[in-house]
Every structure is written in structure tokens, then in C-alpha cells.
Amino acid sequence: MRSNSGRRRFIKGAGLTGTIALAGCISSTDNNGGGDETDTATPTEESGSTETESGDGTATETEDDSNAGADVNVGMVYATGGLGDKSFNDMARQGALQAEEELGISFDQAQPEQNSDFSPAQRQFAESGDYDLISCIGFAQTDALTQNADRYSDQHFQIVDSVVDTGNVASYVFMEHEGSFQVGHLAGLLTSQSFEAGQGSTTGDSTNVGFVGGLDVPLIRKFQAGYEAGVEYANEDVDVQTSYVGSFNDAATAREAALSMYDSGADIVYHAAGASGLGVFQAAQERGKFAIGVDADQSRSEPDFADWILASMVKRVDTAVYTAIESEVDGEFGGGSVTTLGLESDGVACVYGEALGDAIPQDVKDQIAASRQAIIDDEISVPTEP
């Protein structure tokens, strides 16, 4: 096991200027998917930080007052969209924070801005020799990690949302289609009746609901496929309008897409679009309709929109990150393994909105609970392709 300095550290490579963000450059969110405001202060000379410059231009800055005694160090490489998305990346960080608190590990983090930044970020952590485990968050890191895992064969890696079939990579994937079926079932039931809660409402005679995706890739189409199947399971006469933003960080385009859906008769729009999903919430607010969040309980991570967020399809990226770190701490790193998290293991779930959940009729909740159990019992087969 590598020695650990017991200090929070981030690294800035000469070729990555502006692509690896400092630990302090994120917004505060709650414990259900967010960054921790107390951990966001950018190190300064006054706070006791130091910075050294190596011969290759790599700057290393350290804080001297955190995680003393930690014996496992983790490097986190987040998906594009970055921290503060109140969703996917923030959930990953939540898992690392939980491990820091409960297991005594320390972790450093990199926020690539584009896919071409993944490989240098992974290499920079690996080449330092300081990290027991490097957690790669998001399917877009697959190609870079496939190459780097071979290059650094003694380095332990984790990847979330994809599989890299190599002995030094532990892969974690989710059954997003199952959780999406659940929120689709909910949308189909509620759009078929007149329902009011918070500041949103359905008309009862709607013939469609909406889905806004980030990138049009197989992973996000799993969300779409499950959602469409759930809507059809509730009411085969309800259609699903679909739009892909083309980015996980373009709220303006997502807002326009959702507004068009609401204006075309949709009562409820579900997003699987990362930080772009903020635009869906803004559109729901403007039209007095409902939205469904993703990854985190977004009625809590986006409290300003709690009166319009009907539910969220929670995807426990935090569990995947925490579990991988715990395995490393226990000396049981699962290199070459694939861990799949679905409804049965609570790896995905339909979570009702904090402000609106009590208003959802009990008979609707009973039907959602029944379909959950039917999926677990293989009585309902949920497609992975639209």
C-alpha cells in the first residue's frame, strides 16, 4: 500500500492547465448528491497551503490540515459537466466524502472539461504513484481507461457506468432502465388524471409526456427505453416526446426542448441530462408543470424547484464509489469484476419529491410499489433500447 501524506492535494499538469479544477471550485449541495461547502475553500497561502513546481511543470499544492492518518488515497476523475451538477458527479463525490468520513481515506479530484482531458487526468494520478485507487466517473472515460489500465498495470482503477475488462479495473454499472421504468410508470399514471401539487398540475386529458436526454448514446437511451416502457405500462394511449440536448452541460437548450414539450401538451418531463437538466426544471417552473430528476434526489439538491419536481430516478453512484473504496481499504479490490446495481439492491430507485411526495395518491404509490416488485421478480421485462 502506498504511503499517504494525509493531506488534501490536487495536481495541475502543464498540459492540463484549466482542465483539472481545484477542489474549491464547486457549489454547495446537500447530502443527497452534492458537494460539501465546508470542503470547497480554494487553498490559499493564509490557510497554510504550499505549492511546489516539479521539473516537468507539474504543480502540486497541498493543505496541511485534513485527513491526518489516512492510509488510503483515492484520485477522482469526474465526468464532464463537473461538480455542482447536483446530479451524477456530485453523487460520486458524495461517495468519496462518505468514505473519507467513515473509512478515514483521503481523496483528490480532477474535473476534465472535455473527453480529450480524461486520459491525461488519469495518467497524472497514476504517474504520481500516490494513489491506491483511481475512480473514473462516467462511460466516456472507457477508451482512455482501457489504454491507461494496460500502461499502468499495477495501478488499481474503478470505472462507473461502463466495463473495462482488465484485471486492474473494477467496473460498476447500473440498471438505469429499471429505475426509469418506475418514473415512467408514475408519469403515465399521473398524466392520465387531474393532479395538483406544489405549483404544478396535470390536466387529466394529456396524451403525451416528455423525455430530455443529454448525449444520444446507448447509456442514455437505456433511460429513454425504460421510461417509455413505464409510461406505456401505465397507459398505452400516452406517447413520449423525446429530445437530446447534445451535451450534459447545456441548460439553455434543455429548457427550450422542455418548453416545446410542455407547449405540445406534456404534463411531465423526465430528464437524463446531467447539468443540462436544470433547464428542464426552469421550463416546468415557467409552465406550471412537473419534472422528474435523475441520479440524485433533485427535489433536495435543487430545492428552488422542489415545487415542480415530482420525483427523481436516483442512481446510487455514491454507493458504487464508496463500495470500491471500501474494497480497497479492506484489501479486497475487485479487479476484473463487474458489479451491477439495480432495483433489487436499491442501486436505482424512484424517489418521490420532498415537497410533492405526500400529495401523490396512495393508489398510485401502491401501483409503483407493485411494478417495482414485478420487475425484481422478472414478471416485467424492461427493454434497454427504445
What are the pLDDT digits (tens) for 260-270?
999 999 999 99
Helical spans, DSSP H, in the chain: 88-103, 118-128, 142-151, 176-191, 218-234, 251-263, 277-287, 298-301, 317-329, 362-376
For 223-235, what is each residue's pLDDT tens digit? 999 999 999 999 9
Q: Is 153 exposed, middle or buried (0-12, 13-18, 19+ CB in 10 A)?
A: exposed
16-72: pLDDT as tens digits: 323 333 322 222 223 333 333 323 222 222 223 333 333 333 333 333 334 433 589
pLDDT tens track for 133-185 = 999 999 999 999 999 999 999 999 999 999 999 999 999 999 999 999 999 99
Q: Which residues make Cβ contacts (< 8 Å) with residue 32, sequence separation at least 6?
A: 94, 296, 297, 300, 301
Phi-psi region of 213 (alpha: psi -120 to 50; beta: other; left: phi over 0): beta
Would the pLDDT of 4 be above 90? no
- pLDDT at position 10 is 45
Q: What is the pLDDT of residue 240?
A: 98
* Predicted pLDDT at 206: 80
Which pTM does this prediction carry? 0.79
Give pLDDT tens digits for 278-308.
999 999 999 999 999 999 899 999 999 999 9
Q: Which amino acid is at 287?
A: R
Confidence class for position 80, pLDDT limits 50, 70, 90: confident
For residue 236, give the DSSP letter: T
Q: In what order do the strands lie in the sheet with 59-62?
A: 9-12, 59-62, 50-53
pLDDT for 55: 33
pLDDT at 70: 57
What percent of the chain is predicted at pLDDT more than 70?
82
Q: What is the pLDDT of residues 100-141, one digit of tens each?
A: 999 999 999 999 999 999 999 999 999 999 999 999 999 999
Read off the pLDDT of residues 179-226 as tens digits, 9 standing for 90 and up: 999 999 999 999 999 999 999 999 988 889 999 999 999 999 999 999
DSSP calls for 282-300: HHHHHHT-EEEEEES-HHH
How far are the Cα atoms of 10, 96, 236, 295 from residue 184, in angstroms, in the given order?
Answer: 41, 30, 12, 15
Give residue-wise pLDDT tens across range 233-257.
Answer: 999 999 999 999 999 889 999 999 9
